[in-house]
Amino acid sequence: METFGERLHEAIAQRGPLCVGIDPHAALLARWGLSDDVAGLERFARTVVEALADRVAVLKPQSAFFERFGSRGIAILESTIRQSREAGALVLLDVKRGDIGSTMAAYASAYLDPSSTLRSDAITVSPYLGVGSLRPAFDLAASTGAGIFVLALTSNPEGPSVQHAVAPGGKTVAQTVIDEISQLNAGASPLGSFGLVVGATIGETGHELSEVNGPLLAPGLGAQGATPADLRAVFGKSLHTVLPSYSREVLAAGPEIADLRAAAERVLADCRAALG
């Protein structure tokens, strides 16, 4: 069984280091001339998949923008995941789940179990009930070859009050998260399957990321203000494991497929240059 880390390493080697979000929020649907309803959602998602799923390493649907349309939105999310994977893209489902015990196990099963219609290559999770609370997701990911991206250092202004708080032992809460994920990836080659989410807009972090041995998802590029040149300040000597993530910067180029592809190619070239 190939691990997620192995598949991601291969996808980046073949397609380049780029993750593109699928974020069909109301303003973007309007920009594309689409209605803010299930029909507009379906058209948007189908167009992004057709334009990019056969050429970018990772597509990242934001589950909330599908969930807001209820069961019909979830059906479109299922189709988006399936079609993206069939075209060769890895799917990182952005759900940011975090709970305890059987509830966390149920979330993990919903998104990572091979029999689930929402089965994705990886998901995002929140560790702020304690990293140990995520154990059911870690265990299922390990047994099915899936991946997990754990929030570590985020770019929202409220984040540092929690993430930079000092835990017992003198480490920040974020560094404790980073270190625990590093342990999960110990010995993995060429890349661990347990990643971190570190915002590209946060600048010098003051945290040690060099031992993670897993992918570092860097959202916040483009419309949120960060540029590929900022990645060096944030990630330093860990640049080789960074997965830059764009959403609006690419999606705003739609709805024409050629324009979406051109936007993705442009930001990929910028990221290749910045990451060396």
**59-100 tens-digit pLDDT:** 999 999 999 999 999 999 999 999 999 999 999 999 999 999
Establish whether 96 is a catalytic residue. yes
Say which of 60, 96, 171, 237 is annotated catalytic: 96
Backbone angles phi, psi at 147, to 5 degrees: -125, 160
Judge whether 155 and 197 are in contact, CB under 8 Å: no
* Statement: 4-271 belongs to CATH 1.10.1060.10: no
Looking at residue 224, what is its pLDDT? 86
Look at residue 274 and tell me whether its pLDDT is greater than 90: yes
Q: What is the pTM of this model?
A: 0.97
DSSP states of 177-215 as a string? HHHHHHHHTTT-SS--SEEEEE-TTS----S--TT--S-
Looking at residue 167, what is its pLDDT? 87
pLDDT tens for residues 208-266? 999 999 999 999 999 888 999 999 999 999 999 999 999 999 999 999 999 999 999 99
